[in-house]
Amino acid sequence: MIQNYQDAMTICKWAGYPDLFITFTCNPKWPEIVRFVEERGLKSEDRLDIICRVFKMKLDALIQDLRKNKIFGSVKAYIYYRVSKRGATRSHSFFLYKEDKFPTADAIDHVISAEIPDEQVDPVYHAAITDFMIHGPCGDDRRNSPCMVDGRCSKYFPKRFTERTIVDEDGYPIYRRRDNGRTIKKNGVHLDNRYVVPHNRYLLIRYGAHLNIEWCNQSRAIKYLFKYLNKGNDRVTASFYHSSSEDNMEKSVDEVNLYYDCRYISSCEDAWRILGFEIQYRDLAVERLSFHLPNQHNVIFSDAEID
Ligand SMILES: [Zn+2]
């Protein structure tokens, strides 16, 4: 992980701050997956290998779109990481370094949107937003939402209404979210523009998955980079205990508590690794130069030379 971090820093040194932060999440309901599993009377979670393969194909296509088809302009470099949260979400996060920077609000509006479209004018877009890009409900409407930490939404939703996109004094973008009365109903709650996750219309419709695009705040981006690279493996604390059901008999229950801090690899993580797909990837290549102390250089023998 330290080595990967050093590689990322080397790219930053050469390419400058990253410009876009993209999170692409796998959708187990993609028609390619559903078609395959339904024919066999299975559910998508029964065939994690198929999910992983399809996701990898879409991921490669997305990289193609960004890199070769230049949908956001010329790309200098990118780094991506596999992100998994308790194995439930399979997603990849990209840091994209562009050739031409776009620090103006107009330029941001051109690639990133955070509003609900008109259902009559653009029904396909509207359906994609409904399926993938509405956060919540959380807060008072749903206190047990997974995003809730200490009684607050950890992703800071709802955002506030803004007439136009601005970049605040800290360089942090506030996307346009007009108070136009448009809402989308989710779990019985009407959610407005304040709950839309920033995205790009073209990519959202093309990939049919949760695809979050954020313009990077220059200094905070580095902090994120650091955070992602140092996140480490998923861990789980497992506890085994035996307790007496007749707890009124005695206060001291015969109880054994063993806590283990275990490394945890979920089944989808597992499939991804077995198929040999990259957990982290970067383009620009970074060459790691090895050096050694005097008289302690490495010597490599091939199998044929050892007898
Ligand atoms: Zn929330």
**How far is the centre of ligand 1, averaged over its atoms, from the C-alpha of 132 (Å)?**
14
**How far is the centre of ligand 1, averaged over its atoms, from the C-alpha of 221 (Å)?**
22
What is the C-alpha separation between 138 and 144, in angstroms, rounded?
8
Tell me, what's the pLDDT at 247?
Answer: 46
What is the mean pLDDT of the segment spanning 265-283? Answer: 84
Give me the residue label for tokens 């956060």.
135
Answer whether residue 83 shows pLDDT above 80.
Answer: no
Percent of the chain that is helix, strand, coil (3-state, to 5): 30, 25, 45
**How far is the centre of ligand 1, averaged over its atoms, from the C-alpha of 20 (Å)?**
22
**How far is the centre of ligand 1, averaged over its atoms, from the C-alpha of 212 (Å)?**
15
> 18 pLDDT band (50/70/90 cuts)?
confident
Answer whether residue 97 shows pLDDT above 70.
Answer: yes
**How far is the centre of ligand 1, averaged over its atoms, from the C-alpha of 112 (Å)?**
20
Q: Which residues contact 244 (CB under 8 A, 6 or more apart)?
A: 250, 253, 254, 255
- Per residue in 168-218, pLDDT tens? 777 778 899 999 999 999 988 999 999 999 999 999 999 999 999 988 866
Out of 57-61, 74-78, 237-241, least confident range: 237-241
Tell me, what's the pLDDT at 192?
Answer: 93
What is the C-alpha separation between 22 and 5, in angstroms, rounded?
18
